[in-house]
Every structure is written in C-alpha cells, then in structure tokens.
Structure 1
Amino acid sequence: MYFYAARQPILDKDKNLFAYELLFRDSIDNVFPDIDGDEATTKMIEASKFNLGIGEFTGNKPAFINFTLETLSLGYANMLTTDEVVVEILETVKPGKKLLAICKDLYEQGYTLALDDYEHQKVWVHFFPYIKIIKIDWKISTIEEIKEVKQAIVNFPDIKLLAEKVETYDEYNQALELGFELFQGFFFAKPEMIKTKSLSPSQIAMAELLYETSKPELDLISITAVFERDVTLSYKLLRYVNSAIFRRSNEISSIKQALVTLGSQELKRFLGLMFAINVNPDKPSELINSAMARAKFCELVAKDISAPIDSSIAFLTGLLSLIDAILDEKLETVLEKLPLSQEIKDPLLTKKGVLAELIQLLEFIEHAQWDKTTIVMKKLGIAKEKVIKDYNQALSWADEQSQMTNGK
C-alpha cells in the first residue's frame, strides 16, 4: 500500500519550517472531497502509522492532519504522539458539548489543536482555552473578518493565527502586518522580487562545474582545475568525500583523487546541491528542500518514462526548476548566467518536452491536484504506484540531505 498524500509546508514569520499539512487522497485517481472525511482521516492514520511512518514523510516535523467529529470520537488522534501531529478540526465540524469535551481531553494530554478554515461564531469562544492555532483561508476571508477573529482571541495570547493559501510575497507581508504568525502556501516558491544579483566567485565556479558535469563525457582535468581555483569549494568537496558512505581504501591526497572517489553520478549530485544551497543563503530552507526533492524525483523517474532520459540531466533540471525563486530573478535572466546545456535550459524556459512535463507533474503533486497528475502520468507512461513511491523517496532523501548540509 502506498501513502497517497501531498505535504504542504507551514512556515513561521521568519520563513522557517514549522510543520507540514498532509493532504490525503484515497489514490491518485480520487480527488477530495469525493472521499468521505471520516474515511480520509482513517486511511491517513493507517497509512502514516502502519505503512510509511509519519516522521519519514514530514522529516520529523509536526503533521497537521484533518479530523472529523467521528474520527475524534473514535480516538484516532491518540494513535499518534503529541510531537508528531497537530489535530486539525475540520470546518465542517459543528461546535457542541461532545466536541468541547474531546478538545479539553486532548489538550490535557498535550496535543496541539487547530481550527481549520475558521469563520468566527461566538460559541467557539468556549473552545479557545484548548486551541493553539486558528487557520484562516486567505483567499476567502476579508480584512474585516480577520480583525473580528483577532478581537475574539484578544484574551487568549497563546492562540496563533495561520494564514493558508498565501501565494505571493505581497499576501505574506500583508498577513504578517495583520498579526499572523504562521503561513501556508507557496509564496516562498516564487521570486520575491525582480532584481539584479551578481554571483560570487564560488558560485560562478559551481556554475562552471554544473556545465562541465552536464556533458556526456566528464573532462576530469578541467573539473579538477576549477576546484583547485576555489579553496572553499575544495574544502566542501573533501569534507563530503570524507563521509562514511564512501568506502575509501586510502586517504585522499589530491582533488583529482577525491573526484575519482566520488564518481560521475555522485559528483553531479554534490555540485547541484552545493549550488542550490549556497546561491542565496537568505531564502527559506524549505525552498531549497523542495528543489532537492524535485531533483531526486526527476532522477528516479527519468528511467521509467516511455522515452527514458539521462538521469543526471533530469536531476539538474529538477534542481534548477526553482532557481528563479531562490535567486529572486526571472528564470530567463538566471539561465543566461549559467553555462548549462540546452537540454536543461530548454524545458525550463519553453515548458515543452518530457522534462517540462516531469516538472509539471511535480507541481501538481505538491498542490495535491491529483486529477491533473493522472493526465500527465498517462502522457509520460509512468505507473502511478511508481510515481508515489519515487515522490516519497525523494522527500525522504531531501530531508536527509538538508539535515546533513545544515550540520544537524
């Protein structure tokens, strides 16, 4: 059984990752809300507890999971620990004595409770002592409605407001000014502003290396020369090669030996990650994590599509699919600065071809638009079970890489 869910990041006001919301689907063919809410929550708990493991899917961050009154009554929230779940009470649940008693009990056990898509009613004030997070749909709520909620919780300082469906930096900044502390949406995955940004010498060196490694045949002499011109990059290479995952019979005595130890595939992966991580350290870590996950997904799927493509090319294309947001520049401007092969540039710029369709498939999965994923998978000739398996594996790999590069 595969875990059919998308995870959407929830960031704090400093754009650090706070948690993920897990958006469940019965399978890739089904589109919520055709699935009964009780059934959706039941299968989410089953899949996360007994199959994949919720921590693997969320990188050990808390998971917001929707609960109906029925699933709360059955005690499903208690199947997960207080550290791994935020109990999100669906907007369709009516406030009443039974729900109030459940909320009080969960609160006393140490669970974090959230109200989903909140629209203020006075009766909810009785629940506020047990609620930590109130989610407000940014797309449908007016400023007046938001201010009404703020006034209602003024005596409950522990309650945080979460703005969901925040898609632009203007919306993020507006919500920030209104006192929101948590944000859900893909505003961080779009360029914050269009501006000119020069690359540092180290970043230029990495761009050169990306170009070299995108060639069918590696030129070891040229690649070694670039590393030898950049002390910082050489240090990172040697530190990476020193990892326990590489079995070395001898100590490394030269840059060339380090490159040979890594091998072609691992070198390409290392360079891609270093470029994405270091090109703009001020960007949210979740953006870099998303780029890594895209890269790994494209690499895994590349060999299974009806017209297989080079996995190294697929990896770099996936990695660079968010480079405009990482650098806060137009994609065209960014790619002009990078000496990459047209095999990588073309799908990103023209949105055409197999690699472009892979990126589109990823975007649909990230937004849990499962009906659209089915169309793209048919075009690419990929089995849905393989897509979900590779997507889950890519997320886990990206989380591991992120922890390793951040020294955690």
Structure 2
Amino acid sequence: MASICLGRQPILDRNHNLVAFELLFRQEETEETAHVTSDLSASANVIVNAYGKFGIHNVLGHQRGFINADPDLILSDIISLLPSKHIVLEVKESASITLEFLQRCKELKQKGYQFALDNIVAINSQVELLLPLVSVVKIDVLALTRNQLTQLVNQLNHWPVLLLALKVENQEQEAHCRQLGFQMFQGYYFAKPEVMSIKRADPGKIPLLKLLALVMQDNDQNSDIDEIEKEFKHQPGLSYNLLRMVNSGSDGLPLKINSIKQAVQLMGRKQLQKWIQLLLYTSSQSADSLSDEITQTAVTRGKLMELIARAERPHDKNHHERAYMVGILSLLDQLLGIEMQQIVNKLGISDDMNQALLNRQGRLGQALKLIEAKEKGETASIPSLLSELDFLSLNELSDIETQVRGWTDHTDATVN
C-alpha cells in the first residue's frame, strides 16, 4: 500500500486571509522540496493526486489552486480534465514559447482558465508576450534588491494584473511589498508547504488497459457502459478515483451519484479515455521508475502522428484521433513491460491501428516508421519513407516537427 503525496502552500491576501494554494509535486511525506526531472510528469501527478486521489474539494476547499503548467501541459489534452473554476495555470518565461503555445493560451483564457506568470525578476520580450494573457504576476522578491523590486512593480503597474510576492521570508520583506501595493503573498514567512499524504493501492496496469479497451470500443453505447461499470466494480480503488474525479468537476457540494454507470455517463467517454491514459502513464512512472524520456517520446509521437494525419486527410477527425492513439500506444510495451501483441489483444482496436503497432504497416504504420527513423537519426531512409507516404515533403515534415517541438524534451535540449 503506497503513500500518495501532494504538497500545497498557502497564498494569502493583504489581510492574511487564505485565498489560494499552490499545488506542488511531492513523492515523500517529509519532503519540503522535490527533485523534478520532468515538469509534465510532475504536473500530471499533481493533477491525478489532487483530483483523483484526495478529491479537489478536500485539497482546495473553496479556494483556487495554482498549478505549474509548462508548454507540454498547456498543449496537451490533459488541460481539458481540469475545470477552469478550480485552477490558475502558472506559466514561466521560456525559450519554448511559440505562436502555437500563445494561441492555445488565448483559447484557454476564452474558456475561462486563468493564468499566472511565475518567478518574474524582470520584464523582457518573453514576459511581454505573456503579460496580456495573465491575471496574476508572481514576483520572486528574494532575488531582487529593494530598488530593483520597486522599479519592476512600477513597470508592471501599467498592466491590469494582480501582484503576488513570492518567497517572502521575513516581516521586513512583507512590509516593503505591502507598501508597493502587492495584493497577495506566499513564502516561508507565512507557511512552508504542507505535504498531504494518504494510503492508496496502485490501480495496476492490466485493469487500466482493460478499461481503456472498453472505452475505446465503437459498439452500442449502453452495452459498453454496462461493461465499463462491471470492470470498475472489480476495482474499488479505481471506482473511488472515478467518483473523486467526477465530483471534482462539480460546483459546491459533492454530487449524489447513485452508481458507477452514472459517474461514467457524467464524465463522458472522451474525458474518461484521457483520464485513464493519464493514470496509465503516472502509474507506470511511480511504480517502475521508468524513464521520463520514454513518456515524453510517446506524447511527442502522438502529436506528430496526429499532425501527419491532418496533412493527409484534413477533414477526417476520426483518422486524426486513431493516428494520435497509435503514437501514444507505440511505446506502451516498453513502459509496461508487456508484449505489444498482448496490449493490442486487450485493447481490441481497429485493424489499421493493429497493423501499425505490430508490423508498421498501412498508412498509420508508414507514418510511425517515419517518426521512428527520425528519432534514430536514420536520415538516409527518410526520402524513401516520405516517398512511400506520397503526400508529405521534407519541408512539410520539418514544419510539423517545429509545431511539436514545444511538446517534449529533445536529446540535445531541455524544455525549461
């Protein structure tokens, strides 16, 4: 029975009233800070634990939660699992800020999501790109002299943003920040991060695979939900997580859910599929200490496959989704230590996806072969693979890779 941990640090207003928490990745109950090798996997674990394990109402109460959101998370489908009313997405100035990232932020803002700009010590061109999108600016007061802090605040007063003093460590710092007009405060002077901990059995990989297979099937909706409900009933831990997740999306008091079937219907098949995929990968990382690089590569493959499919059939959304799934599933054998044939047998996916995953055949298989060749640096084989596809040029492939670059760490660069 493993301990599930989640850190949270209070954010206070000028009257020292609690207004929010920053939610933090923690692996041990005694950790004050955490060693994070991948921002995406750390954020995924925070989301799974806050919504699925603890229940977001238990974590936040009526306050909002600030969650670190690197470009990978912003551009992923994971965001759609998070109700906008609960969270503030923390973004940082970064070399990986792209036009695609900025457009995605604008779309999320229109849907009601709020953004905070994290760890600011100066205004530069990257910060200026993000300022129109954010509601809160978190300034690292510990890194600045009094004069530098005053100058920065004067510059930021030209923008309609709330100022949050980050890393306040003593009364003198707080007093100076109050004089400058800061509206919110966070730091060890007020409270160190609290590590919440509960005991939960890992949901296990095989049950998750079975559920993913059921959710992905295209059969009669009602009979599918009956089968999904039956599988949940054999997995009390997963059933608990499902109810937590559904309640996390509700307003105020928890919903009165009378059955697993009702919870599945309320969540919806698309959201359920994304949640199970997220659980599958976070379960793999925590249980087996598997390489973050493999997970990042799987996410990157999914996006590359989707964009290549869009280039071939711009209006065939079903084809795009199947291509994305092939990319995501293509490394499950390495992540789970299970033969790909066993995975395919459990999922019951379409023939073209089967052929792609098992034999690298068909249109999806050819695209996957191309991506794998690029990953291995097999430049000599790229022209012939593109010729087999017969709809994509080398320049178009380069454009697609540029679009996806913000999704994952590459071997020679790290997304900050």
TM over 0.5: no
TM-score, normalisation: structure 2: 0.43
TM-score, normalised by the number of residues in structure 1: 0.44
